[in-house]
Amino acid sequence: MATDTLVPAPENPFAIARRQFDIAADLLDLSPNLRCILRSPQRELTVNFPVKLDDGNTRMFTGYRVQHNLSRGPVKGGIRYHPSVTLDEIRALAMLMTWKCAVTNLPYGGAKGGVIVDPRQLSAEEIERLTRRYATEISILIGPEKDIPAPDVNTNPQIMAWIMDTISMHQGYTVPAIVTGKPLNIGGSEGRNEATARGIVYVLGEATRHLGIDLSRARVAIQGCGNVGANTARMLHDLGATVVAISDSQGGVYNPRGLRPIDLLQHKRHTGTVRGYPRGESITNEELIELDCDILVPAALSQVITAANATRVRARIVAEAANGPTTPEADEILYDQGTFVLPDILANAGGVTVSYFEWVQGLQEFFWTEREVNAQLERVISHAFQSVLRVAQEREVPMRTAAYVLAVKRVADAVTTRGIYP
Ligand code: GLU
């Protein structure tokens, strides 16, 4: 049986993020002063903290919170728990959040947090203690009017609840707007849990209309079966699309006649993996990238489409549900071969968009229906897609470059308008 893991490639993610920024800065003819401001994260916090383990021992953990740019408002971005977290990865992801919030025109700058940990090796109680201590350590930076965390890789609504409770205990009153992606019963938003996947579906609706592809007949391969991959599979299947492959960190399954996501997800719930699902054949994560399909959705980790495999990508559309799945070298290859790439800062912006709605609802203590949330999400994503497409057509550049041009311009304008203090 084929086995593999989603091993992150060694290229420095912050160097990649800066290269992607530089491409847009060149096209915008950005001044050297603005360039050096925007190339650097504004604030970086490293925390080393102890956590009591269930066996009575104490272990030290390292975490980060990076705020890239605060010019357009409070900063926003998720927290990830993963053994491969590095400061440079968090810097890159914070920068990406700045551009993501600017592409969608949310009144936020970008931030990101992470803890170097394999949560699968900890009990639920240990994860709770780790979360509460990490939240305490970064409490000098976060707050509803300054920096609002959310879920990311291996974090979830329960973890957001522990962060919210920890900060609220310190304050002496409940502070719902300190995080987004909370459970519904403590001030979460309808539709937030599925928002990233729903955003992918909306942006795919726009892209397929633009390219003259029938989404309801499209064949889709999805790499990753976490919140985003699983919900995207379910929603696209409900629209009539054929989900031909899906994978998780242990490998994937393929069936050219289509998988049934509900059934497959039940198999994953029982066995812990999509592997071994009987109504499909085993494939590796590498093979999934190269499958014959119309739409490829990388929804796992970064740098999975590289110069080494980009020529073998056969999908017409790549929708980047993950952050940073394509290297700049691969980007060029994909553009030259006519692959339409929906870049991460546009494609997966549904999550942060509904996070924004959750934050607004929390501050106003006035909550919307799921229908209202989804309608507003569709409006934001469709508008962002059309704005990026317009720049791509005007400048004859790939969608990623166009998204960066739009975003970097908005942030640079904010920096210029505010001026440099003092
Ligand atoms: N972690 C998600 C992202 O990368 C969501 C961030 C948020 O909602 O603040 O976009």
pLDDT tens digit string along 160-174?
Answer: 999 999 999 999 999
The best mutation among 146, 179, 352, 358 to test binding of ligand 1, ranked by most ligand atoms within 8 Å of the C-beta, falls on: 352
Cα of 107 from ligand 1 centre, angstroms: 14
- Please write down the HEC assignment for all residues of 372-384: HHHHHHHHHHHHH
Number of Cβ within 10 Å of residue 238's Cβ equals 11
Sketch the domain layout of the chain as residue ranges: 41-175, 195-347
- CB 322 less than 6 A from any atom of ligand 1: no
| Strand bridging mode 242-248 / 43-52 | unpaired
- Tell me the whole-structure pTM to 2 decimals: 0.96
Name the average pLDDT for the chain.
96
- At residue 206, what is the residue type? E
Residue 301 pLDDT: 86
Cα of 188 from ligand 1 centre, angstroms: 14
Residue 300 pLDDT: 94
Closest CA to 198 of 416, 379, 10: 379
Residue 160 pLDDT: 98
Atom of ligand 1 nearest to the CA of 356: 8
The best mutation among 67, 85, 97, 373 to test binding of ligand 1, ranked by most ligand atoms within 8 Å of the C-beta, falls on: 97
Cα of 331 from ligand 1 centre, angstroms: 23
Once rounded to an integer, what is the mean pLDDT over residues 89-115?
Answer: 98
Strand partners of residue 317:
295, 340
**Residues 385, 206 contacting (CB under 8 angstroms):** yes
Whether pLDDT at 261 is above 70: yes
Query: Cα(297)–Cα(232) distance, rounded to whole angstroms?
Result: 9
- CB 122 less than 6 A from any atom of ligand 1: no
Atom of ligand 1 nearest to the CA of 152: 1
- CB 355 less than 6 A from any atom of ligand 1: yes
Query: Cα(355)–Cα(358) distance, rounded to whole angstroms?
Result: 5
- CB 302 less than 6 A from any atom of ligand 1: no
Q: Which CATH number fits domain 195-347: 3.40.50.720, 3.40.50.620, 1.10.3720.10, 3.40.50.1000?
A: 3.40.50.720
Smallest CA separation from ligand 1 atom 8, residue:
352
Atom of ligand 1 nearest to the CA of 323: 4
Q: What are phi and psi of 174, to 5 degrees?
A: -75, 130
pLDDT band for position 27 (cuts 50, 70, 90): very high
Number of Cβ within 10 Å of residue 272's Cβ equals 12
Q: What residues are labeled active site?
A: 112
* Helix-helix angle 227-238:195-211, to 10 degrees: 50
CA angle 124, 128, 131 (to 5 degrees): 135
Maximal CA-CA distance, the chain:
65
pLDDT band for position 11 (cuts 50, 70, 90): confident
Q: Please, which residues have CB within 8 angstroms of residue 363's CB and are 6 or more apart in sequence?
A: 144, 177
Whether pLDDT at 8 is above 80: no
- CB 71 less than 6 A from any atom of ligand 1: no
pLDDT in tens, 338-378: 999 999 999 999 999 999 999 999 999 999 999 999 999 99
Atom of ligand 1 nearest to the CA of 355: 8
Strand partners of residue 149:
77
- CB 69 less than 6 A from any atom of ligand 1: no
Closest CA to 285 of 305, 268, 271, 265: 305
| Strand bridging mode 219-223 / 242-248 | parallel
DSSP class per residue in 325-381 = -B-HHHHHHHHHTT-EEE-HHHHTTHHHHHHHHHHHHHHHT----HHHHHHHHHHHH
Q: What is the dihedral of CA 312, 319, 97, 109, to 10 degrees?
A: 140
Q: Which residue has the tokens 């925390």?
A: 47
Smallest CA separation from ligand 1 atom 7, residue:
352
| DSSP secondary structure code for residue 311 in this structure | G
Q: How many CA atoms lie within 13 A of 271 on its CB side?
A: 14
Cα of 77 from ligand 1 centre, angstroms: 5
**Residues 170, 136 contacting (CB under 8 angstroms):** yes
Cα of 186 from ligand 1 centre, angstroms: 19
pLDDT in tens, 210-239: 999 999 999 999 999 999 999 999 999 999
Atom of ligand 1 nearest to the CA of 96: 4
Collapse the DSSP code of 176 into the 3-class scheme (helix H, G, I; strand E, B; otherwise coil) and give the result: helix
Q: Please, which residues have CB within 8 angstroms of residue 400's CB and are 6 or more apart in sequence?
A: 20, 326, 331, 341, 343, 345
Number of Cβ within 10 Å of residue 263's Cβ equals 11
- CB 351 less than 6 A from any atom of ligand 1: yes
Whether pLDDT at 5 is above 80: no
Residue 10 pLDDT: 65
Q: Which residue has the tokens 């889709």?
A: 220
Smallest CA separation from ligand 1 atom 9, residue:
77
Cα of 150 from ligand 1 centre, angstroms: 6
Q: Which CATH number fits domain 41-175: 3.30.300.130, 3.40.366.10, 3.40.50.10860, 3.40.1710.10?
A: 3.40.50.10860
**Residues 97, 110 contacting (CB under 8 angstroms):** yes
pLDDT in tens, 390-421: 999 999 999 999 999 999 999 999 999 999 99
Atom of ligand 1 nearest to the CA of 78: 1
Query: Beta-strand (E) ranges in 25-144?
Result: 43-52, 58-69, 75-82, 109-116
Cα of 349 from ligand 1 centre, angstroms: 7
Cα of 196 from ligand 1 centre, angstroms: 8
- CB 76 less than 6 A from any atom of ligand 1: yes
User: What b/e string do you get for 53-62 counting C-beta neighbours within 10 Å, with b at 16 or more?
Assistant: eeeeeeeebb
Percent of the chain with pLDDT over 90: 97
